Structure 1
Amino acid sequence: MADSSLRSLSRQRDASAAPRALPFWHYLVAAVLGAANTFSFAPTPHGGWIELVIFTVFFAWLSRTNGWKSAAATGWAFGFGNFVTGVWWLYVSMHDFGGMAAPLAAAAVALFSLYLAVYPALSGAVWSLVAGRGRVEDEQATSPTWHGAFAFASAWALGEWLRGLVFTGFPWLASGYAQVDGPLKGFGAIVGVYGVGWVLALVAALVVQAAFGLRRERRRALIPALIALALIVAGMLLSLVRWTTPANAPLDVRLLQGNVKQEMKFEQAGVDESLALYERLITEKRADLIVTPETALPVLAVQVPESFATAIRGFADRTNSSILFGAIGVTVLPDGRAADFTNSLFGITPGVNDVYRYDKHHLVPFGEFVPLGFHWFVKLMGIPLGDLARGPIAQKAFFVHNQPIAVDVCYEDIFGEEIAHTIREQETPAGILVNSTNLAWFGNTIALDQHLQIARMRSIETGRPMLRATNTGMTAVIAANGDVVSKLPTFTTGVLEARVQGTSGRTPYVTSGNVTVIVVSLILLAIAFAFAPGRKRGA
């Protein structure tokens, strides 16, 4: 009888020691929070403030978890909710233009979102394992600590950095982008988009720590609350700092938006229409620099009709206009065979016979190169660009008069470290950034607004103006501080004219790239692991 009582008491103790499983609705709420976070990004005005509130609630919700497994699942649910609502426009490219069956395209978006959610899940797990947590009265909850706040910021930043690196990377919807229209914008020039995400996560964790502190004694809430407030104020004040200075004479620029329908772009009728359209748009008025969208000429550069080439070259020489146009590059072998097709920009300088060439370096998986074992997927999509060759990461600048310009194509501008690396490595660092892109693949969706927001972060990080020439939008001029100076309406044919002042000098981010946030995050995680309170095992 005594043995039976002892066994019963032992089972009760074991049950009370084991963490209780969180209900399903806990993860459902996390997914809803992730979906709500999509509204933090463009086109929502002042979305950075919304994101700050959502991240605070998310960290409070994450603090309810009782082990690394539940923390990882909570991060995964949040990430899936964010990505499936934030990159749903991929469905348009696969179904509307790629010809993929609707159920298969929807499943592909869902699976891709589940993959992207691995990274916030990893951040949640690392935070839980590293931080250590003091318990509060509620068995299910954890009391946020200093260790936990800095561990969350560091784990979150490293997770986003890894998402932008693994399998060529897809850093779309990195949390720092929403702060282009938020209070933490000023940190972008110092630590880049991942560093902004680090500050965002830290502020959210400190606010939650302050709120938990109020439940015990007010003085415990005061310090984290003041630090969070100081970071917000610092971000707003830093956005007023100018890290670069004006350099060289301003340029008169014309950015062309052809609005050529994607479904006919690579058909012969579309090719003829594009050539005629861009010949007219280019030659109707001079400018120091004229830029077309990505593959505005949907042909091999060596196959551009002689009449077009003669008209453009004659116009450039006659009006002293430099021209950047998109076409498909190719290397012609000695035996006459074509090889190494590239997504390229070509530059014509008045009075100079040599043609500038930029070959896209960071290619789009499934659109411009086929990852090993996925050729069947590209056949389903039916996109005409298959395996392309890639250019080097840092390529020479294109000079307009004495102003060096760094160019990139399409979604290359979502990789801030690569643009910073280019500026560092150029013999004469560029003073103006140019992005030539074609987002017609994604229709009239939030992808256009999101991409413009991403480009604005590149200007903040580098302290340089950005010129964007797009097929359907957003064609825009972005100032060196990330503000949009002017833009064309989407899905219209038009020309955006502006006068742009280049800059010189380095922001802290151009100097160090992502190294700062990576090193600081790893050090803080190590400190948190070494000095955090005792950790408890859980699920």
Structure 2
Amino acid sequence: MNGARGAAVALAAGVLHTAAFAPTQAWYLQILALALLFAAAERAAPRAAALQGALFGTGWLASGLWWLHISMHQFGGIPWLAAALAVALLAAFLGGYYALALGLAARCVAPGRWRLLALAPAWLLAELARATWFSGFPWIASGYAHTAGPLAGWAPWVGVYGISALAALAAAGLVLLKARAWRWAAPALLLPLAGGLLPQDFTAATGRLAVSLVQPSIPQDQKFDPVRFAANLETLAGLIDTARGRVVITPESVIPLPLAELDAGTLHRLARPARPVLLGSFLGDAERGYVNSVVALGGDYHYGKRHLLPFGEFIPPGFGWFVRAMAIPLDDQARGDHQHPWAVAGQRLRPLICYEDLFGEDLVRSAVDGADAATVFVNVSNLAWFGTAMVQDQHLQFSQMRALEFQRPVVRATNTGATAVVDHHGRVAARLPALVRGVLEAEVEGRSGATPYARWLAALGLWPLWALALLALAGLRKAAQ
């Protein structure tokens, strides 16, 4: 499908694709949207296929990341039109991965059924590139739509990007089914949908832990206000005082300044000797750099964030003017250290600070390191920069995928939401409403053991998926000749 019609279908399908992700859990829309794109690209010329990929990606990511506008306009002071343009440019840049993928498939494989099948490995290449190149930005990667539904069963075997590839294969199968190419459609559909038939139990219980997850609900425009600091600190201390769990966990940067600048009396006020407190703050200094961290009060444990967010935590070359215009506090941070889990109350807690939980390949070692492996993942976040619509549910869905991949529970302590407990089956067991100040009291069951995905990811990284995509594309090209 060439020309304006193919472009319009691709753009509309991209917007439909966004509707597949949280909060809807409409996983089938992800496959349907991709099928619409593939049907348009099946017989398109390479340039037309590339344009369709670009428009699909731009429509998908602009509608899925629109909330970035809030951080730039409402809190960064960027004019709304400039902020909207920045989101559109980011979506267009990320859409370029899908333009390259569909253009490559169209150039390598002649129009027809072989081309249609080739779009699946090409799609996987685009997803892997977006996840890894330029520090990676895999927000709402297509596999995340499948924390529910039949493809979720593949998570402990092939992870989120393997699911992305299988969903793309199912999308190709839908197009083949419409064309009544039964012999081709059946395996393309049945293989992805067979995930629910796979063995799922790879970890064992290590006991239960009562946790108190603090949600202070401090508005972002008050968080770094020095006039409000004492009142915010008193709010935090009061919430910690009411906590009943064996371990108390606070959100990311709940103390919005370097911990060294906090007086000993205040630290003593926050510490709970009978209940260890994991406190979000900053370590380091101006000379060595400040590190977004969590610190165990009264203990010797700390964790520093390593996978930093472009534009918010480190400044990409050439973009200093843009970041400085938003006056983001502590906008050029250093990377952390001490990445081992925190042994406490009979469990081993692996912290992940906000955006880090998108990168399973970064945290996988903590899921396979034998006796020292984490039994619980802990995400601490502050999404107050971005409002409440879509972003909180999307981020919670990423935690659900990590739980499915590694069969570990994930507990989340956030400033304004989504504070929640996700069990090792990826189910949300408890959650505080957004913008509600309080403490989520819950029990979580720790787990030990490693899934097949964890084992091969720890040994080889994402390279097997890169190799599979390239070999499949080369094999389909040869078959079509």
Is the TM value for this pair above 0.5? yes
1:341 to 256, 272, 290: 290
Distance 2:242 2:342 in 1: 23
**Cα distance, 1:229 vs structure 2:** 4.0
Distance verdict in 2 for CA 1:529–1:287, change over 3 Å: same
Residue 426 of structure 1: how far off its partner (Å): 7.7
What is the correspondence of 1:434-513 to structure 2 with a 5 Å cutoff?
A: 434-513=378-457
Q: Distance in 1 between matches of 2:193 and 2:252?
A: 40
Deviations, residues 220-250 of structure 1 (Å, cap 9, x unaligned): x333332244224412334x72221112x21
Report how far residue 104 of structure 1 moved: 0.9
Deviation of 1:425 after TM superposition, in Å, equals 5.2
Give the drift of 1:278: 1.4
Secondary structure of the corresponding residue to residue 291 of structure 2: strand
Distance 1:263 1:275 in 2: 15
Contact 2:31–2:171, Cα closer than 8 Å, also in 1: yes
Residue among 41, 63, 74 paired with 1:85 = 63
Amino acid at match of 1:208: V
Answering whether residue 340 of structure 2 is matched by residue 396 of structure 1, we say: yes
Distance 1:461 1:516 in 2: 16
Aligned equivalent of 1:254 = 212
Alignment match of 2:203 (pick from 233, 244, 248): 244
Secondary structure in structure 1 of the residue aligned to 2:322: helix
CA contact (8 A) 1:150 1:524 kept: no
- Alpha-carbon shift at residue 338 of structure 1 (Å): 5.0
Show CA shifts across 1:299-339 (max 9, x none). 211122322222333x22xx2x22111001114xxxxx753
> Which structure 2 residues correspond to residues 5-24 of structure 1 after superposition, within 5 A?
22-24=2-4
Counterpart of 1:178 in structure 2 is 145
Distance 1:149 1:267, change over 3 A: same
8 A Cα contact 1:287 1:322, kept in partner: no
**Aligned ranges 1:94-113 → 2 under 5 Å:** 94-113=72-91
Q: Distance in 2 between matches of 1:414 and 1:96?
A: 25
Establish whether residue 122 from structure 1 lines up as the match of residue 100 from structure 2. Answer: yes
Give the SS at the match of 2:150.
coil
Instruction: Output one character per residue of 1:245-293: Cα deviation in whole Å (capped at 9) or x when no partner.
Output: 112x210001010000100111113321221111111122332211000
Secondary structure in structure 2 of the residue aligned to 1:181: coil
Q: Look up the match of 2:11.
A: 31
Q: Deviations over 1:149-191 (max 9, x none)?
A: 4422211111111101111111012100001123211111111
Q: Which shows bigger deviation, 274-283 or 483-492?
A: 274-283
**Residues 468 and 474 of structure 1 are in contact (CA less than 8 Å); yes or no, is this contact kept in structure 2?**
yes
Q: Does 1:365 align with 2:279?
A: no
Query: Match for residue 383 of structure 1?
Result: 328
Structure 2: how far apart are the matches of 1:285 and 1:354? 19
- TM-superposed CA distance for 1:209, in Å, is 2.2
Q: 2:166 aligns with which of 199, 213, 220?
A: 199
Letter in 2 for 1:124: L
Give 1:511 shift. Answer: 1.2
Alignment partner of 1:209 is 2:169: no
In structure 2, distance between residues paired with 1:412 and 1:518 = 22
**Change beyond 3 A, Cα 1:507–1:246:** same
Which has the larger displacement, 465-474 or 123-132? 123-132
SS at match of 2:214: strand
Please state if 1:227 is matched with 2:175.
no
TM-score, normalising length from structure 2? 0.95
- How far did residue 131 of structure 1 move? 2.7
1:416 to 360, 369, 389: 360
Specify the code of the residue in structure 2 equivalent to 1:144.
R
Residue 156 (structure 1) aligns with: 123
Q: Which residue of 1 aligns with 2:467?
A: 519
Separation in 1, partners of 2:290, 2:216:
24
Cα pair distance change 1:293/1:454, threshold 3 Å = same
| Residue of structure 1 in register with 2:37 after alignment | 58
Match of 2:38, as an amino acid?
Answer: F
Preserved CA contact (<8 Å) 1:279 1:308 = no
Over the residues paired in the alignment, what is the CA RMSD in angstroms? 1.8
For residue 297 of structure 1, the aligned residue among 225, 235, 255 is 255
Aligned length: 477
What is the rounded CA distance, in whole Å, between the counterparts of 1:523 and 1:229 in structure 2? 21
Percent identity (aligned): 38
Q: Which of 280-289 and 497-506 deviates more?
A: 280-289
* Pairing 1:323–2:268 present: no
Q: Specify the alignment match of 1:72 in structure 2.
A: 50
Q: Structure 2 residue aligned with 1:43, among 23, 31, 44?
A: 23
Report the Cα distance in structure 2 between the residues aligned to 1:340 and 1:444, rounded to whole angstroms: 31
CA 1:252/1:42 → structure 2, altered by over 3 Å: closer, same or farther?
same
Higher Cα radius of gyration: 1
CA offsets, 1:379-438, max 9 Å, x none? 21121122110024x711101123111111011111121121343458601010000000
Instruction: State the partner residue of 1:11.
Output: none
1:374 partnered with 2:319? yes
The whole-number CA distance in structure 1 between the counterparts of 2:370 and 2:37 is 42
- 1:504 Cα offset (Å): 0.8
Q: Can you give the 5+ residue segments of structure 2 that lack an aligned partner in the other structure?
A: none
State the alpha-carbon separation in 2 of the partners of residues 328 and 427 from structure 1. Answer: 29
Task: Give the aligned residue type for 1:364.
Answer: L
Instruction: Give the TM-score, by structure 1 length.
Output: 0.85
1: distance between equivalents of 2:394 and 2:104? 29
SS of the residue aligned with 1:117?
A: helix
